[in-house]
């Protein structure tokens, strides 16, 4: 991220993506019962996330319009950089990453010793 991006505040929102940290798309470790009881809601959330990722990756002008409105960015150059940066953050296919699964299992370990073996 260059100095100009920092001036307009983009680094606050997307600095982690530029650094290429893994983004976990998993949910919390105690969500099993909630998922079973709210399948329709979970399906809607997953669908909305997938559609949002697709939109950011495929509709640059629409993405810039949304960013302008909600991030209060007006500079066209800054909007372009923000749209590119956000598009880089998300994977082409939103699936759990090995790093995300490891984080989830590590989080579960104190409550469920079997999670250390990946059998939670």
Q: What is the pLDDT of residue 13?
A: 47
Q: How far is CA 4 from the centre of its chain?
A: 24
Mean pLDDT of 36-41: 82
Whether pTM exceeds 0.95: no
Please write the tens of the pLDDT for every residue from 47-75.
898 899 999 999 999 999 999 998 888 89
State the greatest distance between any 2 C-alpha atoms of the chain, in Å, as a whole number.
51
Please write the tens of the pLDDT for every residue from 7-26.
444 444 444 444 444 545 55
> Under 8 Å CB-to-CB from 109, ≥6 apart: which residues?
115, 116
């Amino acid at each position: 991220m260059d100095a100009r991006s920092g001036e307009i505040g983009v680094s606050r929102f997307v600095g982690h993506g530029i650094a290429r940290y893994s983004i976990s798309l998993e949910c919390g470790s105690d969500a099993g019962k909630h998922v079973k009881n709210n399948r329709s809601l979970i399906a809607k959330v997953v669908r909305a996330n997938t559609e949002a990722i697709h939109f950011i990756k495929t509709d640059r002008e629409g993405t810039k319009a949304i960013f302008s409105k909600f991030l209060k960015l007006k500079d066209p150059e800054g909007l372009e950089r923000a749209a590119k940066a956000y598009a880089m953050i998300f994977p082409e296919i939103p699936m759990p990453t090995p790093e995300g699964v490891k984080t989830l299992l590590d989080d579960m370990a104190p409550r469920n010793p079997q999670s250390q073996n990946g059998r939670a």
